[in-house]
Amino acid sequence: MPVGKEKTDVGSPFKAEVYFVSTRIFTDRKWGTKNPIMLRDAEFGPVRLRAFGSFAIQVKSPAVFLEQIVGTDHRFTVQEIGEQLRDLLVARLADVLGESKIPVLDLAANYDELGKFVTDRIQKDFDPFGLQIVALAVENISLPPEVEQAMDKRTSMGVIGNLQAYMQYQAANAIDDAAKTPGGLAGAGAGLGLGMAMGGQMAQALGGAGAGPSTPPPLPPGAVAYFVAVDGKQAGPFDVAGLQALVGGGQLNRETLVWKTGLVNWMPAGQVPELVSLLASTPPPLPK
């Protein structure tokens, strides 16, 4: 109770009223946003924020407080102006958040600075009431629940890391669990195959983290690919390194038929100018 009144009446023609004003600090006053504060964030775009906390006030000027707020009320409590003070505080907080341009994810690291800044900004609004805001604490600034859920999923994906390895781990656990259940392995087979297929598709959609390429890489630019007749069958294509391996294994000599793009028909390797140096180390066929 910041204000109380005592009447004096001892038969005097003059009447006086004495008011007692408590100048102690009134702590643990709660504040919070009735509606979300709309802000534009650099990372998330337009966002809606809710905030709440506590503050402490004190009567700074009893005369102004009595004149502007109390009037002739014989008993006045802080609760009677509590809602008005909260509205002023939230309005200033919205201004400070909008002007600060602090990213949403960095607000938690700036609660103390926000509290001090709002305290300085709002004091001019409390002066006409003879009040002083002694302290202000920002306890929490939060996003809508659906946005927080989306952030939790994004964080979970970051924790999982290699999606392919995670799916393999989950599949191994599923096999172990199914083995402990009678008839479980038979029923788990189809689900496991479907799960692995979906895991492969998801891994490809997310960039194929941890998975190797499903097809061999293309030949380097300018490399010539040759097809070779090995044991009467077409083999290849081979690059120079592959042809050297065939020469070393005795599967490619001057008489071996080869073909590449640009040749009309298959030709003996010894008649292809590009392969002459490659075949120089192999002896010619024995004379008949």
pLDDT at 210 over 50: no
Residue 223, pLDDT score:
58
Residue 1, pLDDT score:
45
pLDDT at 272 over 70: yes
Is this model's pTM higher than 0.75 or not? no
- Average of per-residue pLDDT across 184-212: 51
Question: Measured between alpha carbons, how far is 109 from 92 in angstroms, rounded to an integer?
Answer: 20
Phi then psi for residue 228, to 5 deg, are: -125, 140
Question: Measured between alpha carbons, how far is 45 from 245 in angstroms, rounded to an integer?
Answer: 59
Task: Name the pLDDT band for 209 (thresholds 50, 70, 90).
Answer: very low
- Least confident segment among 101-110, 241-250, 279-288: 279-288
Residue 203, pLDDT score:
53
Question: Measured between alpha carbons, how far is 142 from 144 in angstroms, rounded to an integer?
Answer: 7
pLDDT at 160 over 70: no
Of the two residues 144 and 277, the one the predictor is more confident about is: 144
Residue 178, pLDDT score:
66
- Average of per-residue pLDDT across 38-65: 87
Encode 111-146 in three state secondary structure: HHHHHHHHHHHHHHHHHHHCEEEEEEEEEEEECCHH
Q: Are 5 and 17 in contact (CB under 8 A)?
A: yes
pLDDT at 70 over 80: no
